[in-house]
């Protein structure tokens, strides 16, 4: 049998371990010893661990020589293995010539550049810094110079514009390098390995980039040079720059994620002063933009400040963040406990800059970390919080915040906001009164405020900040940064979990929310609890479930033969969405729209109705507690003509979800078209017909007929705007309605026995009085109400009934949006005419029919022009069922799976193979 070649491997790291594994497969080779570095703490180099698994003798030397002289005991151990070839895959130590020449066949060494260019320890960095067009590696015969020995082989690849130190190493220098080491050893074994003397032409000895002074970037350079320098040090150690703060202090930062930026200077950015840069640098929504000496631009996506890597676009936000520095002794003890948990999971020493994921942790490790921390410290940590704070220092600060607050989701947690205290319903509720932008409560730019009136007693409740176009712009910029930054880091399932957290918090605060809604909008408390708040919670839960089920299709298309083609679609979020809502169900309208919008992966800002924005502000507070990243949800109370209009006009808003009146909806649609052709969905007014046939269940028809009009004091978009009652039961129906109306309890909406509260605000109340006056003037018969409730302060409008209403009357055509029942007769033999009359309106939101004849009911459902049809019931909406109108009641759906599509766009991808 032929003698095996005896190899000593001298080196360290995964690269060397992979070379070892590769050579172990060679039958003509025996690995006789592995020489590597000593353990660091309890952590052994992977090369040693791999060698031990394969029963190969391992030697760990701190150094091989002292004062230039090889250590005899080290030499002796090396000689004991009797190697005929030394293989140095990746070696950071100085190996004495007695060892280099100690093997019969010599020593072969891997070097990550095409020698003789870029000799020295930082060859890969210099390949990029110098803007080389090709990168590569050499395997050479080691001699007594620095990377000067004769070449055995070289390999090269083109450098891509997207390459960084990391990518070139991972995609080429590492995998191809390991393979080439095997090839080189085979060539030596078969006696065909060349020794090509290196030419000195083009040889460079580049400085080592592990020295901090060499990592400082020269910003007095062209954009291309700046770009190359940053990517040459990306991701380790990162190019150093210095920020000159306005207060005269300086801060050293590291730059990552550079790319040339041909879009030129940004108009919306904030200036940042960098030492050595005479040109301009801005923080903008895409990062940090630096102008080179040649007038071209380079953009930096990420910045490391201290131990934390942030999106460069969030520089000014981060600058305001309060990082914890004043740890107590007890907290420092806890710090070592947490470090111990990290260390046990990562199997490496942990310091403040250790990144959980960069150290190799996976999703199971996240679960283990969360469970161990919860068990040790009894805090309600969530998996997604690890993803948001992956660096040890951030993670520990997060934990300290939990511990100091008692609980991250504690109701006692005091966020920093101005509030008014609502004392109602046997409770005291703090309600924020500022705008909510980028995760913080802030004053309006103009300092203007809105007066919020309690409709039950007509007294001013409080004043809240009133947003202007400037505030809208700030919120849009925040939502834009979040959409392209932190929100993208969150997986769909984590997004769903955040929404569930929010729903749970709303559930826990449902009495508070319902109380606010009742006082602010006049909603009856029990209804507010069940519908306004209850259905809001259901909407968040329902859409949370959709987050990880948003899927495209694969589509069979005709291939261009002889090739095959794969076509598939992706459903993608649209971007920043503006939401504008009315005052009738403030929290529910917000939730219907926003839950679908957020589930689809968008970020948003909402302008609630100016008359009752309080539940939206309380909701904003809960989003912080639920863990939503800043900028994802922004809430801006304000006037429609100002803040609302600014949302519709904004060029970075890509979708507008609007609920409100038809005239404003038309106006908004024009603004969407004129500004940037943003997608819009419009949920508008209604004048819904309700048909009651003589063969109905009369009790049910009266009960539902009443609720079809008087539910939520008629401030209900699907309210039956017109009742058609068959002539045979007309009088009986009216008699029973009037009987029930006379016993209806009207009064304080917080009283549990109240069935009918005050109208939302004065202008609306006055409009209802005017509506009734027109009805009377036109000759309709006012059989009940039509006026203020006598002896009651507040906007209490008496539930009203009109009969003898003809089709041409104003009250038959127009929406009242109040508790006004409009009744007309029909003859049961003439259903065709009835259907024409029911459809003779420009609205098409909802409709209803009462009959025991299923044929009649389905015939009605076929022929009615409305987005919703109720048969033998009314007002039955559900978060899973699509909701929206036809004709001038708008288009697009809220709720159900269809609502998701309003906030998604479809991308079609075609691949030839």
Q: Which residues are catalytic?
A: 111, 683, 717
Among 668, 737, 772, 895, binds ligand NAP (CB under 6 A): 668
CB of 580 to ligand NAP, least distance (A): 5
Residue 173 or 476 having the CB closest to ligand NAP: 476
Instruction: Establish whether 536 is an annotated binding residue.
Output: no
CA distance 486 to 642: 29
Residue 151 or 523 having the CB closest to ligand NAP: 523
**Dihedral angle, C-alpha 280, 282, 286, 288, nearest 10 °:** 80
Instruction: Establish whether 610 is an annotated binding residue.
Output: yes
**φ and ψ at residue 903, rounded to 5 degrees:** -115, 20
Select the span of 100-108, 430-438, 494-502, 634-642 touching ligand NAP (CB under 6 A): 634-642
Cis amide prior to 235 (ω within 30 degrees):
yes
Residue 299 or 581 having the CB closest to ligand NAP: 581
Instruction: Establish whether 170 is an annotated binding residue.
Output: no
Residue 343 or 667 having the CB closest to ligand NAP: 667
DSSP per-residue string spanning 775-800:
HHHTT-EEEE--SBPTT--SS-B--E
Residue 544 or 668 having the CB closest to ligand NAP: 668
User: Could you say whether residue 815 binds ligand NAP (CB under 6 A)?
Assistant: yes
Helix (H, G, I), strand (E, B) or coil at 226: helix
CB of 704 to ligand NAP, least distance (A): 19
Distances (CA, A) of 209 to 115, 214, 232, 254, 660: 18, 6, 10, 14, 62
Site residues (CB under 6 A) for ligand NAP, limited to 833-872: 845
CA distance 731 to 448: 54
Tokens of 701: 């028809």
User: Could you say whether residue 135 binds ligand NAP (CB under 6 A)?
Assistant: no
Tokens of 249: 């202090």
User: Could you say whether residue 902 binds ligand NAP (CB under 6 A)?
Assistant: no
CB of 472 to ligand NAP, least distance (A): 10
Residue 592 or 724 having the CB closest to ligand NAP: 592
User: Could you say whether residue 661 binds ligand NAP (CB under 6 A)?
Assistant: yes
Among 610, 803, 875, 901, binds ligand NAP (CB under 6 A): 610
Q: CB-based contacts of 189: which residues, under 8 Å, 6+ apart?
A: 5, 26, 28, 29
Residues found in the chain: 913
Q: CB-based contacts of 258: which residues, under 8 Å, 6+ apart?
A: 226, 227, 230, 231, 234, 298, 299, 300, 301
Give the max Cα distance, the chain.
118
Distances (CA, A) of 767 to 314, 351, 586, 775, 817: 47, 67, 20, 12, 10
Select the span of 261-269, 372-380, 661-669, 850-858 touching ligand NAP (CB under 6 A): 661-669
Residue 299 CA to its chain's centroid (Å): 23
User: Could you say whether residue 609 binds ligand NAP (CB under 6 A)?
Assistant: yes
CA distance 51 to 355: 28
Among 190, 641, 806, 836, binds ligand NAP (CB under 6 A): 641
Among 496, 685, 705, 757, binds ligand NAP (CB under 6 A): 685
Among 664, 729, 857, 900, binds ligand NAP (CB under 6 A): 664
Tokens of 787: 């006026």
User: Could you say whether residue 639 binds ligand NAP (CB under 6 A)?
Assistant: yes
Sign of CA dihedral 82, 85, 89, 94: positive
Select the span of 84-92, 617-625, 644-652, 834-842 touching ligand NAP (CB under 6 A): 644-652
Residue 287 or 640 having the CB closest to ligand NAP: 640
Half-sphere exposure of 845 (CA within 13 A, CB side): 25
How many CB atoms are located within 10 Å of the residue 743 CB?
A: 7
Among 522, 575, 686, 785, binds ligand NAP (CB under 6 A): 686
Instruction: Establish whether 645 is an annotated binding residue.
Output: yes
Residue 198 or 581 having the CB closest to ligand NAP: 581
Instruction: Establish whether 327 is an annotated binding residue.
Output: no
Shortest-Cβ-distance residue relative to ligand NAP: 640
Residue 479 or 647 having the CB closest to ligand NAP: 647
Q: Token pair 């089709």 is at which residue?
A: 807
- Of 859, 812, 851, 806, nearest to 831 by C-alpha is 859
Query: x/- string (CB under 6 A) for ligand NAP, residues 691-730?
Result: --------------------------x-------------
CB of 604 to ligand NAP, least distance (A): 15
Site residues (CB under 6 A) for ligand NAP, limited to 548-607: 580-584, 607
**CB 78 within 8 Å of CB 35:** yes
CB of 657 to ligand NAP, least distance (A): 11
CB of 475 to ligand NAP, least distance (A): 15
How many CB atoms are located within 10 Å of the residue 69 CB?
A: 9
User: Could you say whether residue 392 binds ligand NAP (CB under 6 A)?
Assistant: no
Cis amide prior to 668 (ω within 30 degrees):
no
| Number of chain positions touching ligand NAP (CB under 6 A) | 30
Among 86, 518, 659, 901, binds ligand NAP (CB under 6 A): 659
Sign of CA dihedral 263, 264, 269, 274: positive
Residue 334 or 618 having the CB closest to ligand NAP: 618
Helix (H, G, I), strand (E, B) or coil at 624: helix
Task: Tell me the CA end-to-end span of the chain in Å, nearest whole number.
Answer: 49
Instruction: Establish whether 867 is an annotated binding residue.
Output: no
User: Which residues fall in the annotated binding site?
Assistant: 93-95, 147, 607-610, 640-645, 660-661, 767, 815-817
User: Which residues fall in the annotated binding site for NADP(+)?
Assistant: 607-610, 640-645, 660-661, 767, 815-817
User: Which residues fall in the annotated binding site for (6R)-10-formyltetrahydrofolate?
Assistant: 93-95, 147
Contact residues: ligand NAP, CB under 6 A: 580-584, 607, 609-610, 639-641, 644-645, 648, 659-661, 664, 667-668, 683-686, 717, 815, 817, 845, 885, 889
């Amino acid at each position: 049998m032929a003698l095996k070649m005896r190899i000593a491997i001298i080196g360290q790291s995964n690269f060397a371990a992979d070379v070892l594994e590769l050579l172990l497969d060679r039958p003509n080779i025996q690995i006789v010893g592995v020489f590597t570095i000593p353990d660091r703490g309890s952590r052994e180099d992977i090369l040693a661990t791999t060698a031990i698994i394969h029963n190969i003798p391992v030697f760990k030397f701190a150094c091989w020589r002292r004062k230039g002289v090889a250590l005899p005991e080290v030499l002796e151990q090396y000689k004991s293995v009797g190697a005929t070839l030394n293989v140095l895959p990746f070696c950071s130590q100085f190996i004495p010539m007695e060892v280099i020449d100690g093997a019969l066949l010599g020593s072969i060494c891997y070097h990550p550049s095409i020698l003789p260019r870029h000799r020295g320890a930082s060859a890969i960095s210099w390949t990029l810094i110098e803007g080389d067009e090709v990168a590569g590696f050499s395997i050479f015969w080691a001699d007594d110079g620095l990377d000067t020995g004769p070449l055995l082989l070289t390999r090269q690849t083109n450098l891509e514009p997207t390459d960084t130190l990391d990518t070139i190493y991972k995609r080429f220098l590492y995998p191809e390098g390991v393979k080439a080491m095997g090839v080189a050893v085979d060539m030596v074994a078969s006696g065909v390995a060349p020794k090509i003397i290196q030419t000195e032409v083009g040889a460079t000895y580049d400085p080592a980039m592990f020295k901090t002074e060499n990592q400082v970037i020269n910003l007095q350079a062209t954009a291309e040079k700046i770009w190359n320098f940053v990517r040459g040090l990306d991701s380790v150690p990162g190019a150093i720059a210095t920020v000159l703060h306005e207060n005269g202090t300086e801060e050293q930062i590291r730059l990552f994620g550079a790319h040339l930026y041909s879009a030129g200077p940004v108009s919306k950015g904030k200036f940042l002063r960098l030492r050595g840069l005479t040109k301009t640098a801005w923080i903008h929504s895409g990062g940090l933009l630096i102008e080179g000496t040649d007038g071209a631009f380079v953009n930096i996506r990420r910045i490391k400040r201290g131990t934390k890597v942030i999106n460069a676009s969030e520089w000014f936000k981060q600058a305001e963040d309060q990082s914890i520095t004043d740890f107590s002794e007890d907290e420092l003890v806890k710090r070592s406990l947490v470090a111990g948990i990290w260390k046990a999971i990562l199997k490496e020493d942990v310091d403040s800059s250790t990144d959980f994921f960069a150290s190799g942790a996976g999703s199971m490790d996240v679960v283990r970390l969360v469970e161990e921390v919860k068990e040790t410290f009894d805090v309600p940590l969530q998996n997604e919080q690890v993803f948001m704070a992956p660096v040890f220092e951030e993670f520990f600060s997060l934990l300290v915040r939990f511990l100091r607050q008692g609980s991250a989701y504690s109701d006692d947690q005091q966020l920093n906001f101005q509030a008014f205290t609502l004392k109602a319903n046997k409770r005291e509720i703090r309600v924020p009164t500022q705008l909510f932008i980028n995760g913080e409560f802030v004053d309006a730019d103009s300092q203007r405020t809105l007066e919020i009136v309690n409709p039950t007693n007509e007294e001013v409740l409080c004043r809240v900040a009133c947003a202007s176009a400037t505030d809208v712009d700030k919120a849009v910029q925040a939502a834009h940064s979040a959409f392209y930054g932190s929100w993208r880091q969150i997986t769909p399932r984590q997004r769903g979990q955040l929404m569930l957290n929010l729903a749970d918090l709303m559930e826990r605060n449902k009495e508070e929310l319902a109380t606010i809604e009742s006082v602010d909008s006049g909603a009856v408390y029990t209804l507010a609890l069940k519908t306004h708040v209850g259905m809001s919670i259901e909407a968040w839960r329902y859409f949370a479930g959709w987050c990880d089920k948003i899927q495209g299709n694969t589509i069979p298309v005709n291939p261009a033969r002889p090739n095959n083609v794969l076509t598939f679609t992706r459903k993608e979020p649209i971007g920043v969405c503006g939401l504008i809502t009315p005052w009738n169900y403030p929290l529910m309208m917000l939730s219907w729209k926003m839950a679908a919008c957020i589930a689809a992966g968008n970020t948003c800002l909402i302008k609630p109705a100016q008359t009752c924005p309080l539940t939206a502000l309380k909701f904003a507070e809960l989003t912080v507690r639920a863990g939503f990243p800043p900028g994802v949800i922004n809430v801006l109370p304000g006037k429609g003509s100002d803040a609302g209009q600014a949302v519709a006009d904004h060029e970075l808003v890509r979708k507008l979800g609007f609920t409100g009146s038809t005239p404003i909806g038309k106006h908004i649609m024009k603004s969407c078209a004129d500004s940037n052709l943003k997608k819009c969905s419009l949920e508008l007014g209604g004048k819904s017909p309700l048909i009651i046939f003589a063969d109905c269940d009369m009790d049910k028809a009266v009960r539902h007929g009443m609720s079809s009009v008087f539910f939520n004091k008629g401030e209900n978009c699907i309210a039956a705007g017109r009742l058609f009652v068959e002539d045979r039961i007309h009088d009986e129906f009216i008699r029973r309605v009037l009987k029930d109306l006379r016993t209806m309890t009207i009064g304080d909406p917080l009283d549990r026995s109240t069935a009918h509260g005050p109208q939302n605000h004065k202008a609306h109340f006055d409009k209802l009085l005017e509506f009734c006056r027109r009805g009377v003037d036109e000759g309709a018969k006012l059989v009940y109400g039509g006026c203020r409730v006598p002896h009651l302060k507040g906007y209490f409008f008496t539930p009203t009934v009109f009969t003898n209403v003809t089709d041409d009357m104003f009250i038959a055509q127009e929406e009242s949006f109040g508790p006004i029942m409009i009744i007309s007769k029909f003859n049961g033999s003439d259903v065709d005419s009835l259907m024409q009359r029911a459809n003779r309106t420009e609205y098409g939101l909802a409709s209803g029919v009462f009959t025991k004849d299923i044929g009649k009911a389905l015939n009605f459902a076929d022929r009615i022009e409305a987005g919703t049809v109720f048969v033998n019931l009314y007002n039955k909406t559900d978060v899973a069922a699509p909701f929206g109108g036809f004709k001038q009641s708008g288009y697009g759906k809220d709720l159900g799976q269809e609502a998701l599509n309003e906030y998604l766009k479809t991308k079609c991808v075609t691949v030839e193979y």
